[in-house]
Structure 1
Amino acid sequence: MTGAEPLWSVATLVPLPVLLPLFAAGLTLALHRFATAQRVISVTALAATTAASAALVVAADSGPIVVDVGGWAAPVGIDLVADRLSALMLTVSGVMLLCVLLYSLGQGVPEGDTGDEKPGRVGDAIPVAIFHPTFLVLSAGVANAFLSGDLFNLYVGFEILLAASSVLLTLGGTAERIRAGSVYVIVALMSSLLILSAIGLVYAATGTVNMAQLAMRLPEIDPTVRLALQLLLLLAFGIKAAIFPLSAWLPDSYPTAPAPVTAVFAGLLTKVGVYAILRVQTLLFPVDETVDQVLLVLALLTMVIGILGAVAQNDVKRLLSFTLVSHIGFMIFGVALASEAGTAAAIYYVVHHISVQTALFLVVGLVEWRGGSTSLDKLGGLAKLAPGLALLFFVPALNLAGIPPMSGFLGKVGLLTEGVTNGSGLAWALVVGSVVTSLLTLYAVVKAWNKAFWQTAPPEIEPHVPLPRGMVWPTGALVAFGLLLTVAAGPLYGYAERAASASMDGHSYVDAVFPGGSERGTGESAEIVGESGGKSAGEPGGEAP
């Protein structure tokens, strides 16, 4: 490094959300016999990751920040790209992961301890030695997927998620969890195979998997081939995002895991799939009316069928799992509108849903701790026994249903407004479907609220059982974060609009990786190998090795 080169730049922050959790995972694995050290390392790593992500939100507002991994410039090397969209997703996921980790510390006990084996209490504790390294690897996989500048590295992010989430889903080794984990792994492997096949075909058709270069080359290939590639990628990412009819695996898999694991899965993993759809639809493929109409139909079916499943449930975990599927439809609705306003509303709704859905599953973990069950027939009287818990459930439940003026309402208003502006028959059907889904969501959460908190308490529920503060405070913090999304809706929605504008245009992303690439076009894309763009870290741009 020469004296003219800075020792530190904002680009230094870009790889940290991947590197810090991976490094911490190695430390916690090495220190598996020291539970306190594991806790300190895990919390410190995720807090630092969240801080770095928040700094990237500010820095990326002036343009994408690119890091050439290992100093090898794109398209030969791998790029990590922090733009407005990826930085925002990183920050929200960081807050969620940190809160869930703190919650798990309040619920879990070190392996070997003994205690009350009542369901939902110590008997459902997290095995610490396994949990911490796996949870940190999961965090690294999420960050890698959000920051990835090429399709193959995005696939690697999904595989890291698959490996870590499979372990987390089967923690405890019960028959039910092993069965659910087996289904989850089979479905995930199938979608991974589809992603890998699509990447191979994309490379065969274009000669690259770098997303910035693909944005230049894909418009020039045969339209039929481009459509086939687009549909194959959408199919693979649709499984990850749990879009109907590819969502049947989710309600059977998520409810079996411990509360912190279920919260992470519900709040985040499906959103990585939605992010992948949003990225490829806005950056790689031009607006295609036929594909957008198909997505609108799938969004409507996902909304309606998901929420009908939720209404039919009598277990609060399964009920929330079906609402999770249903509300994925709102996000796909925004993507399918293929406009800046629709994309902005979808981004805002993703941020809202990550926080609210995670908070609700953490509250359900507290309900299970206090009441000993998640079956609505076996719960009751919790409003009197634990009034604070009743409030913690009530606030995010109303937010999920979209009661004004909460963030759920604001996101839905943005989607409905753009649907009306679109004016097509399918868009109007989605507007009606969105309203019906919101009303049925309200019915489902009110049913759960009435049964769990207001019906007569069964004799099995003990009258005096204090809730662990280590579980209550992180849950309250995440509920408060959901309210903050409402208070800060103006700046946040404005940021989402700028993220949507840059994503739909694509020029800033391409130019950050390949300076001037969006103007030179595909005919010269092969000539810009070795150039690094934007605020690049590593070796200065030049000829690739």
Structure 2
Amino acid sequence: MAGSSVSVDYALAMATEPVAAGDFFVVAPSLITLLGGSLCLMLRKHTDWQARLGIGFLALLVLANAGLLIRVLDHGVITMVMGSWLPPFGIAFSVDALSATMSFVGSVVAFCAGLYGAASVDSTGRRYGFYPFLLLLMTGVSGAFLTGDIFNLYVWFEVLLIASYGLLILGNDRMQLDGAVKYGVLNLIGTNFFLIATGLLYGIFGTLNMADIAIKVAALNEPASGTLATVAALYFLAFAMKAAAFPVNFWLPASYHTPNIVVSAVFAGLLTKVGVYALIRVFVMILPASRGYMSDLIALVAILTLLTGAFGALAQSELRRMLGYLVIAGIGSMLAGVAVGSTLSISGAIFYAVHSIIVMTALYMASGIINLMGGSYDLRALGGLYQKSAAFAAVFLVLGFAVSGLPPFSGFWPKVILVDAAFSDGRSWLGAAILFSGFLTTLAMGRVWIFAFWRGGPEGTADGQAVAVRGAPDSGTALASSALWLPLGILTALIVYFGLQPEWMLELSTRGASGVVEPFGYLRSVFGDQ
């Protein structure tokens, strides 16, 4: 009626309560990296400022993620919706222990990469965008870990992929362009599978909110049949490509050895783990029945990924290519946890993901120092590095033990958990594959240490003799930059700490696993008590 007023209860559709100040930690990582990347881009001609600005914003990212993790541990799952529209209409950021942990560890690694890049990226690399691309990459990584909307998970994947293309070709030589083509084609195919699956999922349920989909899937009488089975298969293929699982993993060792070593370190630490995170979030929390009937397939893919990575590493003489295969082997261990699907196995997969993020980043950084000291990445051209720096030889030995899953370092505990979970689930062959892969990894890393550090010089050097490595810089020059040693020291200290004092990481991984296996707290955070 004209002139009459209508009372509208906005509380039914919109959040009317003010957002708690602590909850703004949810969006802080994306805002910090966007602002930092934009500022670095605008000041790209000031190459002497790039490192200071980039490292400063990455330090703020670490602090924001630390605050977010503390907030989640104290208050439980946090949900913030854009524009105050309530889910499933508003686009949600939902943060539980799993996403907060992954985002925090990712920011620590990115900060270390920023420090390392201050010494390893020249003025040309800074001018053409190393720090803006790195910050934009972390915008996508943070958004992927923190979003509660499956379409926006796809969007954040696209953001990090765009940044990764820029980092991959930074330097513009032929080998980098070749690696970028292989990397780009497979990731574009995976992205299309992801988008098709998301479109089908929206067609089935009419929603893209992860919590809403999980509730509607649980209400189906036959959740593992028909179109939903196709959706699950497409998601698995898409995330397996992004995680570099067998048989769609050949792009990784063909591309990760081509860019600047600090870029390889960030890629090895973070990008494949975003794919594993998506697998856990979708298959354990949203589509648990689909994970159940696909568990044997996932286990087979896990075994083949483990063996492909381990045997591939043994076959390589180029250090960066070998490390690429070790990234693949680690993905197999995480997939083994997803295949079993219990709280114990998922906690092992989460712990292993955190360990792999740290140790693979550190190994690539260490390989950069090996190249600086020895003049090559080729094991046949290396030798005598123990005489140049016994301390660095000890650090590399720690990293070798850790990536092999040997005590007393960080890789030991998640492997114990995963093997225990596999045997408890009656999948002894899966547990045996994890152990066998660890044995082969030990051989591969032992081979590197003996060739590069223990023997006196390159291939052909007589036993018992130490020779100067041709083309290698003076050891004083090679060891001068603290910007190389500081980030490697930070990551190595974390590896030792998580090995000797694993209780904190065990608690985080268990809380993260419980939150996706039984996501009552996640659902309550999104929809309240309705």
How high is the TM-score relative to the length of structure 2?
0.91
* Matching residue's letter, 2:431: V
Q: State the distance in 1 between where 2:295 and 2:356 align.
A: 23
Instruction: Pick from 16, 22, 25 the counterpart of residue 13 of structure 1.
Output: 25
Aligned match of 2:193: 194
Task: Confirm or deny: 8 A CA contact 1:340 1:497 kept in the other structure.
Answer: yes
Equivalenced residue count is: 497
**Residue 24 in structure 1 maps to residue 36 in structure 2:** yes
1:42 Cα offset (Å): 1.3
Could you say what secondary structure the match of 2:80 adopts? Answer: strand
1:8 Cα offset (Å): 5.4
Aligned positions of 1:119-518 closer than 5 A: 126-221=125-220, 223-287=225-289, 288-423=291-426, 427-458=427-458, 459-460=469-470, 461-464=472-475, 465-467=477-479, 468-517=481-530
1:386 Cα offset (Å): 2.3
Q: State the distance in 2 between where 1:204 and 1:462 align.
A: 61
Specify whether residues 34 and 78 from structure 1 end up closer, same or farther in structure 2 by C-alpha distance, changes over 3 A only: same
Could you say which structure has the greater relative contact order, defined with CA pairs below 8 angstroms and 6 or more residues apart? 1
Aligned match of 2:123: 110
Deviations 1:471-524 (CA, angstroms, capped at 9, x unpaired)? 11111111112212223311210221121111101111111111135xxxxxxx
Specify whether residues 7 and 273 from structure 1 end up closer, same or farther in structure 2 by C-alpha distance, changes over 3 A only: closer
Q: Say which is worse superposed, 218-227 or 323-332, in terms of deviation.
A: 218-227
Q: State the distance in 1 between where 2:89 and 2:501 align.
A: 41
Q: State the distance in 2 between where 1:499 and 1:5 align.
A: 28
Aligned match of 2:9: none
Q: State the distance in 1 between where 2:46 and 2:111 align.
A: 20
Q: Which runs of 5+ in 1 are unaligned?
A: 112-125, 518-545
1:7 Cα offset (Å): 8.1
Q: State the distance in 2 between where 1:483 and 1:165 align.
A: 30
Q: State the distance in 2 between where 1:93 and 1:462 align.
A: 33
Could you say what secondary structure the match of 2:288 adopts? Answer: coil
Could you say what secondary structure the match of 1:269 adopts? Answer: helix
Aligned match of 1:37: 49
1:290 Cα offset (Å): 2.6
Q: State the distance in 1 between where 2:424 and 2:313 align.
A: 30
Task: Confirm or deny: 8 A CA contact 1:108 1:128 kept in the other structure.
Answer: no
Q: State the distance in 1 between where 2:293 and 2:140 align.
A: 33
Aligned match of 2:3: none
Q: What value does the CA root-mean-square deviation take over the aligned residues?
A: 1.6
Aligned match of 1:524: none
* Matching residue's letter, 1:143: S
1:71 Cα offset (Å): 2.3
Q: State the distance in 2 between where 1:290 and 1:340 align.
A: 17
1:406 Cα offset (Å): 1.6
Q: State the distance in 1 between where 2:241 and 2:121 align.
A: 31
Task: Confirm or deny: 8 A CA contact 1:314 1:377 kept in the other structure.
Answer: yes
Q: State the distance in 1 between where 2:176 and 2:508 align.
A: 40
Could you say what secondary structure the match of 1:67 adopts? Answer: strand
1:245 Cα offset (Å): 0.5
Aligned match of 2:11: none
Q: State the distance in 2 between where 1:93 and 1:278 align.
A: 17
Deviations 1:3-33 (CA, angstroms, capped at 9, x unpaired)? x976852111110111100111111111112
Task: Confirm or deny: 8 A CA contact 1:306 1:325 kept in the other structure.
Answer: yes
* Matching residue's letter, 1:362: M
Q: State the distance in 2 between where 1:487 and 1:251 align.
A: 32
* Matching residue's letter, 2:161: L
Aligned positions of 1:55-134 closer than 5 A: 55-61=67-73, 62-111=75-124, 126-134=125-133
Deviations 1:185-243 (CA, angstroms, capped at 9, x unpaired)? 11111111111111110001110111010001123455222221111111111100111
Q: State the distance in 2 between where 1:396 and 1:321 align.
A: 15
Percent identity of equivalent pairs: 35
Could you say what secondary structure the match of 2:438 adopts? Answer: helix
Q: State the distance in 2 between where 1:167 and 1:212 align.
A: 34
